[in-house]
Amino acid sequence: MASNYLEELNDVQRQAVVNIDGPVLVVAGPGSGKTRVLTYRIAHIIESGVAPWEILALTFTNKAAREMKGRIAKVVGDRAERVWAGTFHSIFARILRVEADKIGYPSSFTIYDTEDTNSVIGAIIREMNLDKNAYNTSAIRSRISAAKSALITPKLYADNEELRQQDRQAARPYTYEIYEKYVARCKRSGAMDFDDLLYRLYELFQRNPDGILDKYRGKFRYVLVDEFQDTNQLQYAIIRKLVNFDGSPRNVCVVGDDAQSIYAFRGATIQNILDFEEDFKPFGIKTFKLEQNYRSTEHIVQTANEVIMNNRRQIQKKIWSDKGEGHKVKVIKAMTDNEEGKRVTDTILEHKNRFHLSNRDIAILYRTNSQSRIFEEHLRRYNIGYRVFGGLSFYQRKEVKDLIAYLRLVVNQRDEEALRRVLNYPKRGVGDSTIEKLSAQAGSAGKTMWECLAALDAGAKAKKAIADFVQMIHSAALRVPTDNAYEIAVSVARGSGLIDLLKSDTTIEGMGRLENLNALLDGIKSFVEEDTISVLDAEGNSDRSLTAYLQNIALLTDQDENSAEGGDFVTLMSVHAAKGLEFKSVFVVGLEEKLFPSFMASDSPEGLDEERRLFYVAVTRAEQLLTLSYANSRYRFGQMRFNEPSRFLEEVPRQHAESTAHFRGSQSTAERNAPEQASGAKITGNFVRRGTAVSGMPAVDAANFKASPSDSIQKGMRVLHLKFGEGEVLEVEGNKDNRIATIFFKAAEDDPKKRIMLKFAKLQIVS
């Protein structure tokens, strides 16, 4: 295969593969062979004489990295294993294991997950006697995460008046102090959270002790980044540090699609890919656009094209397919969410029978995980096998986290969160107040909790139990350099008393917890014995140690755990989780205003653009059949809500849909407003103003529109609505927040009489 791999590529793909020197941007539309281009490019670099360990390939999932290495191996053989390929977090953790001591961390540092981070922040909030309702741990965690991603240290945060003012307005004026204490607590514990794996690497490169930055610049002659549209500011900053030598960029290739940038809530910024071409233009950047879609039929591809053209700023491209027209897009209109569930399930049965599809060929995609319930109920009634992705992770189950905490403590005795979790589990007579006293004592003495454990003031029985606990951890820690992860884990599971404790619970739930613990041990056994290399050490050798295992599971991504391989079941998952997947038949459900697009994005142009990109991702998961559905009413937060169809349905072009009866707007994008040029090379955008006339409706001037208080709207009034124009209020029912108005909008010819919940309606009283 090594001799003919270039023959498998189309002309543009081949150019993107063989132009290996200098900065390169590959704009890869959905289903355009992105992974093939990236892997063959790496193979071509190796075939050109470059050592594989001089290549750094950064991905967003471990699954993508494994697939990449597998494909490269088909061209270059075993040399593929020496490529530094992995997620940002796993590669950076690998570097930090070697260099962490230079920034004051142990090489065996713990990686905190979200629950650990929340626990540390919660403890700090309690110690500061702050209102836990105002200082919500998740909100504080997000604030700290955003600060790190923007390279804002605790000191810079404390000195930034704008940030401090935002916190005061949010009734959280001490956020800066929590941030400062959180960073200090993590360092004392020898722990890094996910953001730290980026933030601390940047710190290491910025401080450049012993020429560390030059060492890795010299090591990686070629840098490649997959899914570049999903990078955040900090990731881009690290990439630029790695590839810039005295202001002259070396060989960097980024691959991505601005139209699939959907992770702003995680800190990703579309600006990176939009600006990359301009940033590297002085250094002779080459840009290649992969526009042929090999996945979907023409109706699906053109629907996606037309919808995404409504976004304001984007890299101009036109995706096309030669797989034939295929089936038009089907739209299901339901009166209730329950009816939507039934009609979607009926259509699934039709697709299975008419097109001979298996369950595994079908996916139901929704905006929020809570939407799965209705579809689960109907699939069960029809005896259709299904699997829901996005629930509780295996590694988040209590019994699993308990044993993992013991193992973390074996590797790193400074890990205070692990110590807090297991010190009194199974019970050793050490209550919460004693643990808090121990934490305070450690803080005042400038020591770790583990160091203060021997002097803990406790009763004789508790002291004996603690001494046995300490001895067990010490004994296991001594085995870490020599024994494999499985041997240590079995010893700790037994010695800690966890297995005996779970065996004593003979309920069905208790037996299930014991099975989970055994499944974890089985997983560790597989890690130790299987041929698949999960973690590499600094020299590129397979690492089967307990430290390596803990790093491996700590860095699992959502998609790694949500692999839909094996078994014949309909897939139910959020659109975010579906990124990178494909199915013969896709149902995108719940297409209603305030749901998809989300109500949180409705008032923000940037937010709406991202929601539209999310819809674009959903549409382009479909290979042959695409079904869109919405319900006029559904229960949300315990209340019946009446819904308008999503604006994205308006943007689906009429000629590519089976029925246009449900579309308020039906003109193609080309027939809408002419495109407006935005700044930036090859960046264009279409601006569809929501207040313009649609389907004969009178225009409402959005600039002068001012919603009236909802409680002032009464029967007989004339009102204005931004989309439906002028209407007459025929009836108002309900009390207080549940008032629902029936309004007749003459210009809404398809359905002039509408029931609208007033507190969400945004109506202006005319008379």
Q: What is the mean pLDDT of each run of 10 residues along the chain (767 residues)?
A: 77 94 94 92 93 92 84 87 90 92 92 91 92 89 91 93 91 94 94 94 90 90 94 92 75 93 86 90 91 95 94 88 94 91 94 94 92 89 87 78 95 93 89 83 85 77 86 93 91 92 84 86 82 58 83 73 68 91 96 89 84 96 96 74 89 84 44 36 36 38 70 84 81 76 75 77 79
pLDDT at 701: 55
- Specify the long-range contacts of residues 510-513, CB closer than 8 Å, at least 24 apart: 513/397, 513/398, 513/399
Instruction: Enumerate the H helices of 621-755 as residue ranges.
Output: 647-650
Residues 15, 35, 441, 684: which is the catalytic one?
A: 35
Residues 61, 260, 302, 371: which is the catalytic one?
A: 260
564/570 Cα distance (integer angstroms): 10
Q: Mapping DSSP to helix (H, G, I), strand (E, B) and coil, where does residue 5 land?
A: helix
Look up tokens 């950076």; give the residue. 92
Annotated catalytic residue 371: no
Annotated catalytic residue 35: yes
- Specify the long-range contacts of residues 697-705, CB closer than 8 Å, at least 24 apart: 697/664, 697/723, 697/724, 697/725, 697/745, 697/747, 697/748, 698/725, 698/726, 698/747, 699/725, 700/725, 705/764
Element (H, E) at 11: helix 11-18
Annotated catalytic residue 155: no
Which H, E and C letters describe 256-311, residue by residue?
ECHHHCCCHHHCECCHHHHHHHHHCHHHCCEEEEECECCCCCHHHHHHHHHHHCCC
52/79 Cα distance (integer angstroms): 6
Tokens of 604: 């923000």
Q: Per-residue b/e over 244-257, b at no fewer than 16 CB within 10 Å? A: eeeeebbbbbbbbb
pLDDT at 552: 84
Q: What is the dihedral of CA 211, 214, 216, 217, to 10 degrees?
A: 170
Side chain identity at 544, as an amino acid letter?
A: R
- Specify the long-range contacts of residues 698-704, CB closer than 8 Å, at least 24 apart: 698/725, 698/726, 698/747, 699/725, 700/725
64/556 Cα distance (integer angstroms): 12
613/611 Cα distance (integer angstroms): 5
CB 232 within 8 A of CB 269: yes
502/513 Cα distance (integer angstroms): 7
Residues 167, 226, 543, 610: which is the catalytic one?
A: 226
Q: Mapping DSSP to helix (H, G, I), strand (E, B) and coil, where does residue 366 land?
A: strand
445/529 Cα distance (integer angstroms): 44
Residues 289, 513, 612, 621: which is the catalytic one?
A: 621
Element (H, E) at 10: none
Question: Where on the phi/psi map is residue 357: left (φ > 0), alpha (ψ -120 to 50), or beta?
Answer: beta
pLDDT at 703: 54
Residues 116, 227, 399, 650: which is the catalytic one?
A: 227
CB 628 within 8 A of CB 333: no
Question: Where on the phi/psi map is residue 22: left (φ > 0), alpha (ψ -120 to 50), or beta?
Answer: left
3-state percent breakdown (helix, strand, coil) of the chain, nearest 5: 50, 15, 35
pLDDT at 80: 85
Annotated catalytic residue 651: no
pLDDT at 443: 81
Rounded to a whole number of angstroms, the distance between the first and last alpha carbons of the chain is 76
Tokens of 119: 């626990």
232/225 Cα distance (integer angstroms): 13
763/747 Cα distance (integer angstroms): 16
CB 536 within 8 A of CB 542: yes
pLDDT at 466: 86
DSSP letter string, 24-88: EEEEE-TTS-HHHHHHHHHHHHHHTT--GGGEEEEES-HHHHHHHHHHHHHHHGGGGGGSEEEEH
Residues 34, 143, 420, 723: which is the catalytic one?
A: 34
